[in-house]
Amino acid sequence: MLELYPYILILHLFCAIFFIGYLFVDLFILGPIKRKNANLGSEFFKNNAVKIMPFIVLLLFLSGGAMASFHFNPLNSLFLIKMLLAAIIFCLVIFSLTYYFLLKKPNHLGKFVHPIVFIICFFIVILAKLMNYIFI
C-alpha cells in the first residue's frame, strides 16, 4: 500500500482543487452574477456541477480515508481536528444530496451550505499544511 501513496495523494489533491475551486467560483464569481441576473448561465453551471461534483467528492473522501491510515496518530490533534471538519463537510454533502436527489425539494439550508463548506475547507487546507511542520 505504501507504493500507492503518491498516486492516492495526487488524486486527493486534484479532487480537493476541483472541489474548493467549484466552491470558490460558485461563491465569488457566479454568486454576484446570479444576484444581478438570475437567468445568466446559472442553470447550465448547476446542472453540470450536479453531474460531476458528487463523484469528485466521493473520490476526495475515499482518497482522504486511504491516506488517513498513513497519518493516523491519536496524539496528533491537528489531524483529529482536520478529520472532524471533514466529517462535518461529509454530513453537509449527504444532507444536500439527499434533498436534491431523494426528496426532490429545495434545500432550506442551501444558501448557507456552500459558504460554510468553503470556510471549513479553508481551515482544512491550513491544518494540512501545519501538520507537516507542527507536531502537537
Q: Is residue 43 part of a domain?
A: yes
Q: Share the mean pLDDT of the chain.
A: 87
Give 90's pLDDT tier (boundaries 50, 70, 90): very high
C-alpha cell at 35: 444576484
Is position 136 within any domain?
Answer: no
Q: Region 87-91: what's the mean pLDDT?
A: 96
pLDDT, tens digit, 9 for 90 and up, residues 53-81: 889 999 999 999 998 887 776 667 888 89
Band of residue 31 on the pLDDT scale cut at 50, 70, 90: confident
Q: How far is CA 57 from CA 2, 11, 93, 128, in A?
A: 23, 11, 8, 18
Q: Answer whether residue 67 is part of any domain.
A: yes
75: in domain: yes
User: What is the per-residue pLDDT across 101-131, written as a single tens digit (0 to 9) for each?
Assistant: 898 888 888 889 999 999 999 999 999 899 8
Which residues, including other chains, have CB under 8 Å from residue 54's CB and lie 6 or more apart? 93, 97
Structural domain that includes position 38: 2-131
How many structural domains does the chain have?
A: 1
Task: Look up residue 1 and give its DSSP letter.
Answer: -
Q: Is residue 119 in some structural domain? A: yes
